[in-house]
């Protein structure tokens, strides 16, 4: 759409700007304040320069949690995106099946995150949980509170359970926007199912898939509550992702300086990845 | 082939329902049954867990608090986002693209980063432990999201609609409320759904900003899990009840989801 230049449009944006700035800028400045100084309470601050940043960047603890975070995000994207597309492709296109699927599939999205954690905890308990009990009955030695592999398996399965539906809903919306004429043309040309998917459906879904990947990247990168309730970051530190580690440092040990420096580095990484995504997305939009 | 198609969504839905069923199953059991035996359905069916929640005020006020701040947040977010999204979809102005990206960055900010500064900030302006504090803090991620979704919907409305209205002598605000908003009801429905959803499920900020008076149900649950032993049945009942508001909201927007998703950006 060709937009007209109108500087007065700023007046429309002011309420949003004020509300978000109130929440974003002032607390962010507090973080910056802590990141460069040392405090012993009572509002006494000493300038520390970049010491905390150096400390964090060189600490093995940070490298470990960052590594775990990237591994986790990569795995869940790798599972959820193809799975979400596959389910969206097989979903009914009309009739009573549509609202039934949509309502049931949206359910996990609207459950508070700590309830998701608690629910999966109960579900996976080795003695009284359905999942844990069944796996042990089948001969697997499963215990997610003690074995690292099982803890990862459960956390990933929980995230797949929780968020795949978002990818499904978005892909389904993308598929619905394809005109029937495209399919008719493909049928006349005798295109195979695979050709229809790669030449028609996938390009049409590109926009919503970018949004899905972006949302899933952001949210999985800041995951906190669910693994915190499910495993508490354990066994040991095996599932302590960035946010869990950060909260432990800030509120548990009250190491405000390093925690603030870590917050800024953390935020910067998320920003960087999202900026790349956003630029690519905008470029695609301008092209089409 | 046609029939085999049903298998994938069906298996997926069964997978989704299993943990929910297990939670419901637990909530109808007595504590002794939970601890001593493994049963696929309650042997001694009991409603005691639910009775306790509905009679104990520390429990049910948690629900009221949550609903109160979630509704407040949804109203604030959508009301503020409507004019802004209109501006982004219709006009070019100084710094519009940067502003839009800056808004989005707040959706990307990990709440864990903001937990402590939020606590200090809201304490210093005397809003700590109020519903307003939680509703305002959730604006951090809900307003950007609302602007993003609404902008998508508004951009799909042709600009000729605006121009025709002005030619017909409508003032801007009359056009906006009488013509424009009714054309994008589906979009507003979807936006409210998402705002409700993200505010309802968020716990970290809600827990950090409240102590007693505005404590959300989710925080009440964590307290129970840690202090009064492991009352799984009660925890399961409280968890099951948190699913209900979400289910009601989904039921109301189910038609919008199918239609709205296809129209808009999300």
Structural domain boundaries in chain A: 60-249+271-287
b vs e for B230-244, b when ≥16 Cβ sit within 10 Å of the residue's Cβ? ebbbbbbbbbbbbbe
**Average of per-residue pLDDT across B66-82:** 93
Question: Are the Cβ atoms of B116 and A22 closer than 8 angstroms?
Answer: no
> Is the pLDDT at A63 greater than 50, yes or no?
yes
Residue B222 located in a structural domain: yes
- What is the pLDDT at residue A76? 94
Residue B51 located in a structural domain: no
> Is the pLDDT at B33 greater than 60, yes or no?
yes
Question: Are the Cβ atoms of A27 and B121 closer than 8 angstroms?
Answer: yes
Nearest-Cα distance to chain B for A260, in Å, is 8
Angstrom CA distances, A277 to A69, A178, A274, stand at 19, 24, 5
For the domain with range A60-249+271-287, which CATH number is right: 3.40.190.10, 3.30.470.10, 2.30.42.10, 1.10.3720.10?
1.10.3720.10
Residue B47 CA to residue A232 CA, distance in Å, equals 30
Total of domains in chain B: 2
Nearest-Cα distance to chain B for A194, in Å, is 15
Ranges A279-288, B18-27, B105-114, B219-228: which has the least confidence = B219-228
Question: Are the Cβ atoms of B136 and A23 closer than 8 angstroms?
Answer: yes
The answer to whether the CB of A238 falls within 8 A of the CB of A155 is no
B67 and B12 co-located in one domain: no
- What is the pLDDT at residue A288? 59
Chain A residues lying within 8 Å of B105, measured CB to CB: 271, 274
Chain A residues lying within 8 Å of B104, measured CB to CB: 274, 278
The winner for highest mean pLDDT among A41-50, A147-156, B113-122, B230-239 is A147-156
Looking at residue B179, which CATH number applies to its domain? 1.10.3720.10
Q: How confident is the model at residue B154 (pLDDT cuts 50, 70, 90)?
A: confident
Question: Are the Cβ atoms of B5 and A161 closer than 8 angstroms?
Answer: no
The answer to whether the CB of B106 falls within 8 A of the CB of B148 is no
Between A79 and A267, the higher pLDDT residue? A79
What value does the mean pLDDT of chain B take? Answer: 83
- What is the pLDDT at residue B76? 94
Nearest C-alpha neighbor of B252 from the set B183, B182, B186, B178: B186
Chain B residues lying within 8 Å of A267, measured CB to CB: 109-110, 113
B113 and B224 co-located in one domain: yes
The answer to whether the CB of A219 falls within 8 A of the CB of A163 is yes
> Taken in order A71, A72, A74, A78, is the CA torsion positive or negative?
positive
B27 and B78 co-located in one domain: no
Question: Are the Cβ atoms of A24 and B140 closer than 8 angstroms?
Answer: yes
Chosen for mutation from A6, A94, A115 (greatest number of chain B CBs closer than 10 Å) is A115
B7 and B66 co-located in one domain: no
**Residues in Cβ contact with B260 at an 8 Å cutoff, skipping those fewer than 6 apart:** B153, B186, B187, B189, B190
Residue A224 CA to residue A231 CA, distance in Å, equals 11
The answer to whether the CB of A145 falls within 8 A of the CB of A120 is no
Residue B188 burial by CB count (10 A; 0-12/13-18/19+): exposed, middle or buried? buried
B64 and B98 co-located in one domain: yes
> Is the pLDDT at B107 greater than 70, yes or no?
yes
- What is the pLDDT at residue B230? 62
Question: Are the Cβ atoms of A221 and B110 closer than 8 angstroms?
Answer: yes
- Span B189-214, pLDDT tens digits: 888 888 998 898 888 888 888 877 78
**Average of per-residue pLDDT across A31-60:** 77
Question: Are the Cβ atoms of A7 and B93 closer than 8 angstroms?
Answer: yes
Residue B73 located in a structural domain: yes
Please confirm whether the linkage preceding A235 is cis (ω < 30° from 0): yes
What residue numbers bound the domain in which B254 lies? 56-263
B39 and B132 co-located in one domain: no
Residue A54 CA to residue A31 CA, distance in Å, equals 16
Chain A residues lying within 8 Å of B18, measured CB to CB: 123, 130-131
- Span A242-258, pLDDT tens digits: 888 888 887 777 777 88
> Is the pLDDT at B1 greater than 80, yes or no?
no
Question: Are the Cβ atoms of A243 and B118 closer than 8 angstroms?
Answer: no
**Average of per-residue pLDDT across B221-243:** 72
B181 and B99 co-located in one domain: yes
Question: Are the Cβ atoms of B84 and A107 closer than 8 angstroms?
Answer: no
B36 and B146 co-located in one domain: no
Residue B252 located in a structural domain: yes
Nearest-Cα distance to chain A for B75, in Å, is 13
The answer to whether the CB of B149 falls within 8 A of the CB of B83 is no
B31 and B116 co-located in one domain: no
The answer to whether the CB of B17 falls within 8 A of the CB of B28 is no
- What is the pLDDT at residue B261? 55
Nearest C-alpha neighbor of B22 from the set B47, B36, B46, B42: B42
The answer to whether the CB of A35 falls within 8 A of the CB of A260 is yes
Closest by Cβ to A247, choosing from B5, B16, B112: B112
Closest residue in chain B to residue A166, using alpha carbons only: B266
> Is the pLDDT at B2 greater than 70, yes or no?
no
**Residues in Cβ contact with B137 at an 8 Å cutoff, skipping those fewer than 6 apart:** A23, B118, B122, B205, B206, B209
Using alpha carbons only, what angle is made at residue A211 by residues A210 and A216, rounded to the nearest 5 degrees? 100
Closest residue in chain B to residue A98, using alpha carbons only: B258
> Is the pLDDT at B148 greater than 90, yes or no?
no
B145 and B249 co-located in one domain: yes
Residue B133 CA to residue B216 CA, distance in Å, equals 12
Question: Are the Cβ atoms of B113 and A112 closer than 8 angstroms?
Answer: no
Between B113 and A83, the higher pLDDT residue? A83
B227 and B102 co-located in one domain: yes
Chain A residues lying within 8 Å of B88, measured CB to CB: 13
């Amino acid at each position: 759409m060709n937009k007209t230049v109108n500087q007065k449009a700023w007046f429309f944006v002011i309420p949003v700007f004020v509300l978000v700035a109130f929440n974003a800028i002032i607390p962010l400045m507090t973080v910056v304040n802590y990141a460069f100084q040392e405090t012993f309470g009572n509002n006494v601050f000493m300038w520390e320069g970049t010491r905390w940043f150096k400390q964090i960047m060189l600490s093995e603890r940070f490298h470990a949690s960052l590594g775990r975070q990237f591994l986790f995000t990569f795995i869940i994207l790798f599972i959820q995106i193809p799975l979400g597309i596959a389910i969206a492709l097989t979903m009914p296109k009309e009739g009573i099946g549509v609202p039934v699927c949509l309502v049931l599939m949206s359910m996990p999205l609207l459950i508070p995150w700590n309830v998701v954690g608690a629910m999966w905890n109960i579900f996976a308990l080795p003695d009284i949980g359905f999942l844990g009990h069944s796996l042990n009955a089948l001969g697997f030695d499963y215990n997610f509170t003690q074995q690292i592999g099982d803890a990862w398996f459960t956390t990933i399965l929980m995230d797949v359970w929780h968020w795949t539906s978002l990818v499904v809903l978005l892909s389904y919306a993308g598929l619905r926007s394809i005109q029937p004429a495209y399919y008719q043309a493909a049928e006349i040309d005798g295109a195979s199912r695979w050709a229809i998917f790669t030449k028609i459906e996938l390009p049409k879904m590109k926009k919503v898939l970018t949004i899905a990947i972006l949302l899933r990247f952001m949210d999985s990168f800041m995951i906190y509550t669910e693994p915190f309730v499910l495993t508490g970051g354990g066994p040991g530190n095996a599932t302590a992702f960035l946010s869990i580690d950060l909260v432990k440092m800030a509120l548990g040990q009250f190491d405000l300086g390093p925690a603030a420096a870590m917050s800024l580095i953390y935020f910067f990484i998320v920003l960087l990845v999202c900026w790349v995504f956003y630029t690519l997305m905008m470029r695609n939009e301008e092209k089409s | 082939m046609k029939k085999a198609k049903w298998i994938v969504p069906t298996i997926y839905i069964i997978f989704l329902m299993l943990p929910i069923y297990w939670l419901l199953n637990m909530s109808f059991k007595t504590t002794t049954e939970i601890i001593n035996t493994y049963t696929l359905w309650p042997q001694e069916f009991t409603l005691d867990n639910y009775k306790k929640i509905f009679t104990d005020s520390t429990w049910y006020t948690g629900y009221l608090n949550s609903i109160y701040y979630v509704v407040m947040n949804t109203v604030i977010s959508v009301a503020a986002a409507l004019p802004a999204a209109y501006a982004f979809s219709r006009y070019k102005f100084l710094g519009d693209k940067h502003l839009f990206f800056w808004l989005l960055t707040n959706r990307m900010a990990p709440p864990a980063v903001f937990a402590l500064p939020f606590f200090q900030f809201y304490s210093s302006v005397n809003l700590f432990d109020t519903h307003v504090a939680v509703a305002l803090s959730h604006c951090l991620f809900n307003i950007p999201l609302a602007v993003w979704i609404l902008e998508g919907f508004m951009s799909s409305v042709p600009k000729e609609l605006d121009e025709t209205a002005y030619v017909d002598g409508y003032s801007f605000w009359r056009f906006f409320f009488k013509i424009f908003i009714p054309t994008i009801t589906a979009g507003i429905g979807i936006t409210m759904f998402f705002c409700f959803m993200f505010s309802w499920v968020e716990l970290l900020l809600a827990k950090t900003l409240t102590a007693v008076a505005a404590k959300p149900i989710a925080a009440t649950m964590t307290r129970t899990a840690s202090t009064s032993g492991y009352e799984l049945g009660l925890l399961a009942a409280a968890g099951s009840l948190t699913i209900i508001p979400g289910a009601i909201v989904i039921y109301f927007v189910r038609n919008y989801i199918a239609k709205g998703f296809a129209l808009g950006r999300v």
